């Protein structure tokens, strides 16, 4: 057997979140707990297919890749279920937010890196890596560190599997394929000893890992299975050169990464910043004004340093380490870089007030039990919480007990006093000074005032609600633009100048678009009498001539060419169409799922109101999409 192990001093902790999209969704929407949930994606060939399902749904027979219609038919008979479109971006954001909260365990926290090929294949990150080299003694030992991390995640409502090993590849493989089993047997997170200290049991555990633990391409794994190679022990007995010759260099590289021959770095989400200021309080306090004064002092100190290096901060982080419980953390993003305390502090104060609100409320209530909470703020409840956390974390528990947000709020309520305040600048750029004009300056051109406004709005109502539009080249009206947040440290500093818009049809599109389009339940269309021609006059109540949508036969060709007469939005509102222009056919979006085929009409109803309606040529249903 070839030499496999390379000795080095790094220690990597991996958290793998089984069924991450569902976990994230359940944590965000507590009401979905213990429900059968299906997430679907749109496939260009197969339409809507299941991309993730909750354990209860899986139990009901749903599996990944199944058409949604089939999954629905499986679940329909046995009660309620929820279906959502899979939001990959939200999954990533959730993982990033979680990684930010883990920085109290390690300074280097990063997401699992996915190469472009795997990404195209649909693989998304669902693991986090922490470099814990030399940190174990701060928590007792590595096992204690892993346990505390598990408790932290449990408190937030997540159920990860944790493994500590020498390399990123090894930690990932162990977390994915061995940690669950190990935890159910020993009630301990899986901590693999360093290479030199490993015994026969540890080596056997590694050898028994399936070949999937090497993060290989599914095609290669299939080939290996066909060759009868199922675990690492079998794979390592083969000659490396022959493997590379038959299966490509990937397997070579993955083996080296697993063993540590090739260094695989953790891509830290937040780089260690040079602008940090912290202060430990002599006496822990929950008094907001006191904390605000300390924060202001630290911000002032950082602003001086920023000005000295001609830098402007775009993203500020404030971390309040509490005496008990998780740290309170929040960030303040800015529209334009600044190094002025007067500009930053009002925004931080606003966030601080929100962040400390539960703590303040609790201090006013003097430790009274909080209503509508399962837990009570006393020692007993904490004990209960610990007992719950020590329960085995396996598939069965995933099914039965999703953690709720209540536990997060419970954490907030148990935090009493702030012990340490840290303020740091996570993103900063070179500050460009613009000279103002002395005379005749138009106040409307005051960019400073506008940037202050955007900062204030984004911090009060959330950056996702203060946006700017960017036009896209899409024929489908819904995809002809995108709204992007104005306050985002990752965005380009200057907006791309929008291209001049063709103004030949100024009012071709309505200024208000209904999202989603409103279905027009009943639609009276002209039924052809002779040779598909429209009759000159129709009696309204005459069903034989003006038919209900459901009663009219399959005359899709005629329908698409004939403007509508009556639109019925609901039972009470009937719109009589007096004039119409169209149709404008839009066929697009095959790459997003099923091709969109619509015939758009601009219609004028009797009250001279103009609306934008369309007929979906696939379902022959009519929709109201906008008003002019």
Dihedral sign from CA coordinates of 294, 296, 299, 301: negative
Interface of this chain with another protein, residues 365 to 384, rule: CB under 8 A: none
Nearer to another protein, 228 or 443 (CB): 443
For residue 165, the surrounding DSSP H or E stretch is: strand 161-165
State the pairing for strand pair 276-285/418-430.
antiparallel
Q: Is 151 in the site for another protein (CB under 8 A)?
A: no
Assess contact for 288 and 375: CB atoms under 8 A. no
Q: Is 603 in the site for another protein (CB under 8 A)?
A: yes
Nearer to another protein, 41 or 559 (CB): 559
Q: Which of 439, 490, 573, 591 binds another protein (CB under 8 A)?
A: 573
Query: Which residues does 319 contact at the CB level (< 8 Å), separation at least 6?
Result: 327, 328, 329, 421, 422, 423, 424
Which span (75-83, 141-149, 421-429, 597-605) binds another protein, by CB under 8 A? 597-605
378, 342, 300: which is closest to 452 by C-alpha? 342
The least CB distance from residue 455 to another protein, in Å, is 11
Nearer to another protein, 249 or 548 (CB): 548
Nearer to another protein, 50 or 486 (CB): 486
Nearer to another protein, 114 or 518 (CB): 518
Assess contact for 52 and 62: CB atoms under 8 A. no
Cα 55 to chain centroid distance, Å, stands at 20
Assess contact for 315 and 332: CB atoms under 8 A. yes
Is the peptide bond prior to 516 cis by the omega test (within 30 degrees of 0)?
yes
The least CB distance from residue 292 to another protein, in Å, is 21
270, 294, 274, 269: which is closest to 282 by C-alpha? 294
Nearer to another protein, 209 or 454 (CB): 454
Q: Which of 329, 563, 592, 594 binds another protein (CB under 8 A)?
A: 563
Q: How far apart are the C-alpha atoms of 246 and 268, rounded to whole Å?
A: 35
Q: Which of 152, 182, 288, 602 binds another protein (CB under 8 A)?
A: 602
Rg of the chain (C-alpha set) = 30
Nearer to another protein, 88 or 468 (CB): 468
Assess contact for 291 and 417: CB atoms under 8 A. no
The least CB distance from residue 358 to another protein, in Å, is 16
The least CB distance from residue 129 to another protein, in Å, is 33
Interface of this chain with another protein, residues 531 to 560, rule: CB under 8 A: 534-542, 546
Q: Which of 88, 225, 581, 590 binds another protein (CB under 8 A)?
A: 581
Which span (1-9, 117-125, 391-399, 473-481) binds another protein, by CB under 8 A? 473-481
Q: How far apart are the C-alpha atoms of 568 and 521, rounded to whole Å?
A: 6
Q: Which of 486, 523, 596, 617 binds another protein (CB under 8 A)?
A: 486
Beta partners for 85? 40
Nearer to another protein, 293 or 472 (CB): 472
Q: Is 84 in the site for another protein (CB under 8 A)?
A: no
Q: How many residues belong to the site for another protein (CB under 8 A)? A: 91
The least CB distance from residue 436 to another protein, in Å, is 13
Contact map string, positions 441 to 470, toward another protein, x by CB under 8 A = -xxxxxxxxx-xxx-xx--xxx-xxxxxxx
Q: How far apart are the C-alpha atoms of 356 and 290, rounded to whole Å?
A: 12
The least CB distance from residue 578 to another protein, in Å, is 6
Nearer to another protein, 149 or 520 (CB): 520
Query: Which residues does 461 contact at the CB level (< 8 Å), separation at least 6?
Result: none
Q: Is 75 in the site for another protein (CB under 8 A)?
A: no
53, 52, 236, 264: which is closest to 172 by C-alpha? 264
The least CB distance from residue 593 to another protein, in Å, is 22
564, 567, 568: which is closest to 527 by C-alpha? 564
Nearer to another protein, 141 or 561 (CB): 561
Instruction: Read off the tokens for 514.
Output: 């209904």
Assess contact for 406 and 388: CB atoms under 8 A. no
The least CB distance from residue 524 to another protein, in Å, is 6
Q: Give the 3-state secondary structure of residue 576.
A: strand
Q: Is 572 in the site for another protein (CB under 8 A)?
A: yes
Q: Give the 3-state secondary structure of residue 487.
A: coil
The least CB distance from residue 507 to another protein, in Å, is 4
Q: Give the 3-state secondary structure of residue 207.
A: helix
Q: Is 626 in the site for another protein (CB under 8 A)?
A: yes
Nearer to another protein, 210 or 547 (CB): 547
CA angle 412, 418, 423 (to 5 degrees): 105
Which span (49-57, 100-108, 173-181, 499-507) binds another protein, by CB under 8 A? 499-507
Nearer to another protein, 116 or 503 (CB): 503
Nearer to another protein, 213 or 523 (CB): 523
CA distances from 562 to 525, 535, 541, 604 (A): 8, 12, 20, 15
Which span (92-100, 160-168, 420-428, 495-503) binds another protein, by CB under 8 A? 495-503
Contact map string, positions 104 to 123, toward another protein, x by CB under 8 A = --------------------
Interface of this chain with another protein, residues 501 to 530, rule: CB under 8 A: 501-515, 518, 524, 526
Q: Give the 3-state secondary structure of residue 248.
A: coil
Cα 236 to chain centroid distance, Å, stands at 38
Nearer to another protein, 228 or 500 (CB): 500
343, 335, 269: which is closest to 307 by C-alpha? 343
Q: Is 93 in the site for another protein (CB under 8 A)?
A: no
Q: Which of 382, 568, 585, 592 binds another protein (CB under 8 A)?
A: 568
The least CB distance from residue 599 to another protein, in Å, is 13
343, 339, 411, 338: which is closest to 373 by C-alpha? 411
Q: Which of 45, 371, 436, 497 binds another protein (CB under 8 A)?
A: 497
Instruction: Read off the tokens for 128.
Output: 């986090």
């Amino acid at each position: 057997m070839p030499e496999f192990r390379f000795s080095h001093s790094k220690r990597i902790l991996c958290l793998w979140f089984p069924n991450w999209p569902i976990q994230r969704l359940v944590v965000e929407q507590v009401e979905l707990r213990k429900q059968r949930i299906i997430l679907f994606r749109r496939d260009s060939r197969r339409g809507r297919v299941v991309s993730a399902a909750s354990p209860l749904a899986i139990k009901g027979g749903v599996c990944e890749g199944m058409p949604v219609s089939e999954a629905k038919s499986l679940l329909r008979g046995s009660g309620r279920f929820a279906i959502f479109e899979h939001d990959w971006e939200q999954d990533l954001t959730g993982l990033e937010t979680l990684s930010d909260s883990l920085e109290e365990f390690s300074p280097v926290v990063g997401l699992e890196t996915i190469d472009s090929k795997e990404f195209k294949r649909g693989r998304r990150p669902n693991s986090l890596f922490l470099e814990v080299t030399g940190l174990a003694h701060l928590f007792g030992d590595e096992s204690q560190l892993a346990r505390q991390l598990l408790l932290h995640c449990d408190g937030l409502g997540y159920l990860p599997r944790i493994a500590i090993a020498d390399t990123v590849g090894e930690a990932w493989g162990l977390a994915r394929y061995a940690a669950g089993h190990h935890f159910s047997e020993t009630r301990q997170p899986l901590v693999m000893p360093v290479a030199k200290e490993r015994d026969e049991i540890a080596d056997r555990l590694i050898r028994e890992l399936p070949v999937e633990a090497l993060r290989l391409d599914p095609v290669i794994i299939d080939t290996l299975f066909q060759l009868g190679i199922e675990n690492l022990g079998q794979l390592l007995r083969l000659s490396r050169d022959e493997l590379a010759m038959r299966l490509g260099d990937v397997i070579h590289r993955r083996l080296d990464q697993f063993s540590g021959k090739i260094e695989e770095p953790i891509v830290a989400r937040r780089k260690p910043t040079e602008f940090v200021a912290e202060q430990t309080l002599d006496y822990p306090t929950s008094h907001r004004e006191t904390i605000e004064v300390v924060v202001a002092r630290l911000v002032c100190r950082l602003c001086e340093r920023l000005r000295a290096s001609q830098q402007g901060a775009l993203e500020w982080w404030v971390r309040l380490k509490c005496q008990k419980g998780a740290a309170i953390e929040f960030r303040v993003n800015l529209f334009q870089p600044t190094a002025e305390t007067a500009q930053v502090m009002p925004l931080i104060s606003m966030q601080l007030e929100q962040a400390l609100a539960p703590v303040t409320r609790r201090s006013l209530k003097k430790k009274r039990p909080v209503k509508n909470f399962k837990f009570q703020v006393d020692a007993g409840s904490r004990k209960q919480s610990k007992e719950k956390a020590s329960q085995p974390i396996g598939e069965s528990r995933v099914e039965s007990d999703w953690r709720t947000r209540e536990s997060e709020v419970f954490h907030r309520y148990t935090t009493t006093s702030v012990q340490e305040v840290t303020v740091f600048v996570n993103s900063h750029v070179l500050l460009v000074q613009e000279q103002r004009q002395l005379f005749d300056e138009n106040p409307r051109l005051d960019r400073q005032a506008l940037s202050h406004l955007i900062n204030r709005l984004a911090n009060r109502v959330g950056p996702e609600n203060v946006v700017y539009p960017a036009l896209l080249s899409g024929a489908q009206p819904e995809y002809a633009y995108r709204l992007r947040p104005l306050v985002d440290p990752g965005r380009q500093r200057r907006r791309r100048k929008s291209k001049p818009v063709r103004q030949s049809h100024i009012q071709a599109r309505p200024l208000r678009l209904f999202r989603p389009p409103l279905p027009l339940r009943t639609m009276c269309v002209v039924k052809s009498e002779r040779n598909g021609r429209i009759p000159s006059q129709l009696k309204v109540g005459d069903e034989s001539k003006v038919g209900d949508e459901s009663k009219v036969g399959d005359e899709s060709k005629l329908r698409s060419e004939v403007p509508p007469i009556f639109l019925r939005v609901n039972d009470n509102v009937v719109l009589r169409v007096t004039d119409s222009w169209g149709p404008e056919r839009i066929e697009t979006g095959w790459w997003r799922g099923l091709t969109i085929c619509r015939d758009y009409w601009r219609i004028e109803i009797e009250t001279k109101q103009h609306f934008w309606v369309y007929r979906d040529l696939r379902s022959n249903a009519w929709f109201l999409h906008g008003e002019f």
